[in-house]
Structure 1
């Protein structure tokens, strides 16, 4: 007899006979997959770290970053915010990692007649002399960070024979316009004096 021709009581008995108990969890298989996944994640992390170190090796021709002189004069502008990294000027995806320039951090910028002082807690501080400043603009992105239009202050400066774009974001984005105007005015005055 088929289940269709059985009376209702018989149908329940046939269906109950067809049920099977749940399979027991294969702990060995699950643990194997978890170990394999953990090893894969560790491999990817290690490859990313090696790539970062290799990029730093390729950029080892970049000279050491200058430090601020003892006397820089009174501050024209100050900014507290975030440092998002540096790239080769005009190439917003070509990140520079040598000498800690690729390390994101909090930042305290101070602009004086002597130049731009970049203080970064937990990362290397550096100083950009006024004669090395090349320009400032508002932009929307730099390697690894994309914001709304005009959300990033990008300062272009010369270091050795390379021009560098460094990206900053103030805690108060309204300050960016004043920084661009002041920096570009200062750069034009410096170039006019040469």
Structure 2
């Protein structure tokens, strides 16, 4: 009989913790209601330039890898395939909405050791920074095969639009520069 009291107390604490977690997630969804949905992947994004299997980690606010984006299913971790196409990057997730990152919205790609609850060896995650509406976000992906990381980074980096270079004024004709 004495054990039943302790079991009931333990179950009550567990239920309370789960309820508080659900409340926190619901509040995060409410706070992020203004975050736009990623665009739908085009029917034909072009030929596959590179493809890697792995795990979609999450999408977070850029440079704040603890601020997971919960809306539109972007905060749900799961198995995925990331494919690089001429039009952008398509992350096809198992049991969740496909994430499409248009080429024009790509900002950068880098390797990192972790983000929002997923920490791995040094440079174990591929992190793609891109524009989503008016803000920037980071999307993390862990390749299934370590050798795929460098190839995925190179393929995405090849799509990142170059920053416009400042134009230098033309040299006056007929005059030598000293």
Question: Same fold judged by TM-score > 0.5?
Answer: yes
Q: Report the alpha carbon displacement of residue 41 of structure 1 after superposing the two structures with TM.
A: 0.4
- The structure whose residues are more often helix, as a share, is 1
* Aligned residues: CA RMSD: 1.4
- The structure whose residues are more often strand, as a share, is 2
Which residue of 163, 176, 179 maps to 2:149? Answer: 176
Distance in 1 between the 2:66 and 2:72 partners?
A: 18
Distance in 2 between the 1:125 and 1:67 partners?
A: 8
| TM-score, normalisation: structure 1 | 0.81
**1:158–1:164 CA contact under 8 A, matched in 2:** yes
Matching residue of 2:35: 62
Distance in 1 between the 2:98 and 2:156 partners?
A: 20
Distance in 2 between the 1:185 and 1:173 partners?
A: 20
> Size of the alignment, in residue pairs?
165
Question: Does 2:4 match 1:39?
Answer: no
Matching residue of 1:9: none
Distance in 2 between the 1:174 and 1:48 partners?
A: 37
**1:152–1:169 CA contact under 8 A, matched in 2:** yes
Which residue of 135, 140, 143 maps to 1:162? Answer: 135
Q: Report the alpha carbon displacement of residue 121 of structure 1 after superposing the two structures with TM.
A: 1.3
Q: Report the alpha carbon displacement of residue 33 of structure 1 after superposing the two structures with TM.
A: 1.3
Name which one, 1 or 2, has greater alpha-carbon Rg. 1
**1:86–1:142 CA contact under 8 A, matched in 2:** no
**1:107–1:120 CA contact under 8 A, matched in 2:** yes
Distance in 2 between the 1:30 and 1:53 partners?
A: 35
